[in-house]
């Protein structure tokens, strides 16, 4: 009897707590799904917001675990920024549901998906099937790897921050404009350096670098994964070796969260081919602290492959 009455009291406590809401803070709390979005938000907002990323630069953003501690962070958030395009579909919905923060539910002002605001690449046509691997119906979601699209994303973030915090809207807009200007200028330099390197074709592990390669007009004739999300097989690696020899491809870029040992056989079979592990996200390697560093690291990897 006593136990029942205690449990009833707990239920009443839960009901009471439901009407309590978090205290307001001067700075907006922003949570991003990946560190690239954290870096872009920092460029836009500076010290005006607190921003933290759930995912780390060393993690594959498709497969991050929905830790309950992330729910706690999202519970305190004013804005959650994600890529969308089904990049985080395996883990973000659980975090949003467990956070019990209606401000950041899908469709609310506190929930921003930026992927759909830029022009997508590799949008599948016709019937989509999981027999084709991890295909994203809305297109390749690794949009932040193009510096120009990253600038467009910055403007989208600035606009939403301005809606949530109107007194600082002009500062957010200015932050975004400064990033767009800087990335546009640097892109000219990166493009020039890539042209000078003589590299025109690159093999990658996954279709992570599609937007970067497209921006700088680099071909991607082979992927180490036989299909998106499917680990390399020995038969497929033999096909890649054949293609690399035929097309005289001299560079393999392995995204930092994949196992680089798969390239050992390719390096043995293709004389002069170089395989480089590259950071494809902020914090993906020591020294990659902001979004510019990601592109700079990729360009340096290409330049080193003359």
Partner 1 sequence: MFHSKRSLRPFVFVLVSVLVHSVSARAEVAGKPFNPDLSVNFLGLLRDSTNASENRSTAPYNGLSLQEAEIQFYSNVDAYLKAVALFSVAEDSGTWGIDPEEVYVETTSIPFVTFRGGKYKLALGKHNQLHTHAFPFIDAPLFQTKILGEEGLNATALGASLLVPLPWFSELTVQGFSLANEDLYNDPVASTSPPTGKTGFLARYRNLFEFGDDATLELGASASTGKNAFGLSTKLAGGDVTLKWRPAEGGKYHALIWNTEYLRAIRAGRTDPGGSGVNDEKIGGLASYVQLQFAERWWIQARAEILGAPHNEVEPVHTKQSGLLGFFPSEFSGFRLQYDHEVDHARPKPDHAVTLQYNVTIGAHPAHAY
Q: Which residues of the shown chain bind partner 1 in the complex (CB under 8 A)? A: 3-4, 7-8, 10-11, 13-15, 17-18, 20-22, 56, 58-60, 63, 65-69, 71-72, 75, 90-91, 93-94, 97-102, 105, 107, 127, 130, 134, 137, 229-231, 257-259
Integer angstrom CA distances of residue 252 from 146, 258, 264, 301: 19, 13, 11, 10
Closest approach of partner 1 to the CB of residue 76, in Å: 9
Joined tokens for residue 75: 């519970």
Nearest to 236 by CA among 302, 253, 199, 244: 244
Quick one: the chain helix, strand, coil %, rounded to 5? 50, 10, 35
| CB nearer partner 1, residue 46 or residue 93 | 93
Distance of closest approach, residue 252 Cβ to partner 1, in angstroms: 18
**Quick one: DSSP state of residue 103?**
G
In the bound state with partner 1, the residue whose beta carbon lies nearer, of 166 and 235, is: 235
Instruction: Count the alpha carbons within 13 Å of 186 in the hemisphere toward its beta carbon.
Output: 19
The 3-state DSSP class for residue 54 equals coil
Closest to partner 1 by CB, 162 or 284 = 284
The minimum distance between CB 112 and partner 1, in angstroms, equals 18
Q: How far is the CB of 154 from partner 1 (least distance, A)?
A: 26
CB 67 to partner 1: min, Å: 5
d(CA 110, CA 133): 32
Strand partners, 29: 50
Note whether 272 and 250 are within 8 A (CB).
yes
Cα separation of 146 and 151, whole Å? 9
Q: Which of 97, 238 has the CB closer to partner 1?
A: 97
Strand partners, 52: 31
Q: How far is the CB of 229 from partner 1 (least distance, A)?
A: 7
Nearer to partner 1 (CB atom), residue 103 or residue 215: 103
Q: Which is nearer to partner 1, 73 or 267 (CB)?
A: 73
The DSSP secondary-structure symbol of 250 reads: -
């Amino acid at each position: 009897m006593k136990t029942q009455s205690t449990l009833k009291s707990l239920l009443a406590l839960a009901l009471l707590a439901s009407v309590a809401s978090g205290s307001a803070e001067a700075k907006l709390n922003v949570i991003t799904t990946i560190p690239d979005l954290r870096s872009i938000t920092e460029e836009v907002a500076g010290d005006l917001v607190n921003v933290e990323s759930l995912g780390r630069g060393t993690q594959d953003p498709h497969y991050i675990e929905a830790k309950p501690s992330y729910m706690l962070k999202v519970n305190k958030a004013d804005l959650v920024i994600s890529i969308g395009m089904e990049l985080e579909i395996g883990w973000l919905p659980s975090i949003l549901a467990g956070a019990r923060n209606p401000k950041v539910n899908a469709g609310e002002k506190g929930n921003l998906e930026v992927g759909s605001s830029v022009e997508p690449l590799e949008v599948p046509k016709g019937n989509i099937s999981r027999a084709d691997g991890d295909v994203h119906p809305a297109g390749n979601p690794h949009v932040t790897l193009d510096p120009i699209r990253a600038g467009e994303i910055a403007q989208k973030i600035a606009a939403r921050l301005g809606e949530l915090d109107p007194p600082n809207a002009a500062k957010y807009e200015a932050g975004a404009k400064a990033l767009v200007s800087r990335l546009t200028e640097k892109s000219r330099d990166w493009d020039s350096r890539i042209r000078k390197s003589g590299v025109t074709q690159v093999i990658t592990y996954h279709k992570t670098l599609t937007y970067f390669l497209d921006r700088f007009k680099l071909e991607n004739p082979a992927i180490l994964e036989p299909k998106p999300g499917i680990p390399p097989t020995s038969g497929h690696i033999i096909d890649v070796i054949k293609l690399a020899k035929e097309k005289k491809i001299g560079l393999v870029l392995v995204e930092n969260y994949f196992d680089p040992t798969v390239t050992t056989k390719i390096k043995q079979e293709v004389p002069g081919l170089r395989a480089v592990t590259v950071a494809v996200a902020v914090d993906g390697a020591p020294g990659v602290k902001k979004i510019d560093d990601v592109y700079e690291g990729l360009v340096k990897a290409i330049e080193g492959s003359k």
